[in-house]
Structure 1
Amino acid sequence: MEYPGNLFVVAAPSGAGKSSLVKALLELDAKLAVSISHTSRAPRGQEQHGREYWFISPEEFRSKVERGEFFEWAEVHGNLYGTSRASIEERMKQGEDVVLEIDFQGALQIKQLFPYAVLVFILPPSWDELRQRLTRRGDTAEEVIERRMANARIEVAQAHRFDFVVVNAVFETALFDLKAIVHAQRLKYASQRRSKSTVFKALDLP
């Protein structure tokens, strides 16, 4: 089903800077709304329930899966993550552009449900830089870093399946690229037709 709003799906390996880029994008673009995912993992650092994620128990998460409440869900680094179907559909029906931050598995599932969703993959400039970013966090054990580096190689290998790829070497440049993708999508014929249907009808456009 098509809605007036656009759906942007951003994925990346851990440490590539996905969350920082999306946060900065939201601060620059008032027309964008972020979808808050559910997760079974515990909050990290200053994370708050209902802000970064909806933190729920594994049992509650599984119940939501059984009730079909998620667009997509996946297990990542031993934790469960899912995207609420109702919250996204309601926002898009109202004409809002929604941004999802999810893993590549979830992104590809979303594309199956919403063929016009825009998939963006954030790449690190190199494997060495990715490792350094993970290490600089300072709160991650070495074995966890190794596991995330191994998972990153699997994730990066899926980048060719996305509509756009942004290399996050210089943050400001990557943010500009991400903004350009959003703007370009809004100007596409199909997107304009959905968001400005009255104009298209008045001009007898298909």
Structure 2
Amino acid sequence: KYLAKHNAVFDQLDLVTYEEVVKLPTFQRKTLVLLGAHGVGRRHIKNTLIAKHPDQYAYPIPHTTRQPRSDEENGRNYFFVSHDEMMSDIAANEYLEYGTHEEAMYGTKLDTIRRIHQEGKMAILDVEPQALKVLRTAEFAPFVVFIAAPTLQNIADYDGSLERLAKESELMRHAYGHYFDLTIVNNDIDETIAQLEAAIEKARTQPQWVPVAWVY
């Protein structure tokens, strides 16, 4: 996955540290945002959830400037665009996030998320936490889930990667924890999916607090 280090929109926005909230009987969240340290398993969670409920969830197809391979069809796994077109759309704040990988640009366009909503599905995003600056609006109405690193007990950490995950997770929790609707420790994929399903169903059917700006 490319590292989304840049976004023209982010430079113009600040994350709010305090906001007024209101309690509603029910409120439909439109976007499932999975946050977590790199390597914590968000992609596997996303793919598992979509495979299990293709009628409920979808992932926005990325745009890229690389050339399509012989077996690739535009709009299936990627939308293929020119470098000039992508740079123009980035300047127009049409991308949620973007980055470069092996000299090609990749990015997630806001319209691909909107299209999923129009189909009556929940868009799943595994993004950098800075993307919340754009997503925390009534239009995208995110349910933010923090995927925490697996616990270190009883797991052999031969190369120190689990310790790195744990440290990165703690830094992210400290910086963005007040935006999390749910935290799941990803020790077991089946358990993680079950917790996600239950939490999303609860958010659909039970009273919840949401930012006033999402309602009025």
User: Shorter-chain TM-score category?
Assistant: 0.5 to 0.7
After superposition, the CA RMSD in angstroms is 4.4
Once the two structures are superposed, the pairs formed by residues 60-139 of structure 1 within 5 Å of their partners are 61-70=86-95, 72-73=96-97, 82-112=107-137, 114=139, 116-126=141-151
SS at match of 1:122: strand
Higher helix share: 1
List per-residue Cα deviations over 1:134-164 (Å, max 9, x = no partner). 959xxxxxxxx97x88765543433412211
Structure 2 Cα separation of the partners of residues 52 and 131 of structure 1: 34
Aligned counterpart in structure 1 of residue 45 of structure 2, from 21, 32, 43: 21
Aligned counterpart in structure 2 of residue 6 of structure 1, from 24, 30, 43: 30
8 A contact 2:29–2:142 mirrored in 1: no
SS at match of 1:98: strand
The 3 A distance-change label for structure 1 pair 14 and 183 is same
List per-residue Cα deviations over 1:99-139 (Å, max 9, x = no partner). 11211111343114647311111111247979769959xxx
8 A contact 1:15–1:134 mirrored in 2: no
8 A contact 1:15–1:130 mirrored in 2: no
Using the size of structure 1 for normalisation, the TM-score is 0.62
8 A contact 2:30–2:140 mirrored in 1: no
Determine whether 1:183 maps to 2:201: yes
Structure 1 Cα separation of the partners of residues 195 and 41 of structure 2: 14
8 A contact 1:69–1:85 mirrored in 2: yes
How many equivalent pairs are there? 174
Using the size of structure 2 for normalisation, the TM-score is 0.59
8 A contact 1:14–1:152 mirrored in 2: no
Structure 1 Cα separation of the partners of residues 141 and 180 of structure 2: 12
1:203 counterpart residue number: none
Structure 1 Cα separation of the partners of residues 171 and 105 of structure 2: 18
Counterpart residue identity of residue 17, structure 1: G
**TM-fit CA distance, 1:17:** 0.5
User: Which structure 1 residue ranges, 5 or more long, are not aligned?
Assistant: 42-47, 137-144, 191-206
Counterpart residue identity of residue 202, structure 2: A
Structure 2 Cα separation of the partners of residues 40 and 168 of structure 1: 34
- The percent identity for this pair of structures is 21
The 3 A distance-change label for structure 1 pair 19 and 104 is same
Q: Higher relative contact order at CA 8 Å, sep ≥6: structure 1 or structure 2?
A: 2
8 A contact 1:33–1:96 mirrored in 2: yes
Counterpart residue identity of residue 33, structure 2: V
User: Which structure 2 residue ranges, 5 or more long, are not aligned?
Assistant: 1-27, 67-72, 209-216
2:6 counterpart residue number: none
The 3 A distance-change label for structure 1 pair 40 and 91 is same
**TM-fit CA distance, 1:18:** 0.4
SS at match of 1:106: helix
Structure 1 Cα separation of the partners of residues 65 and 181 of structure 2: 29
SS at match of 1:157: helix
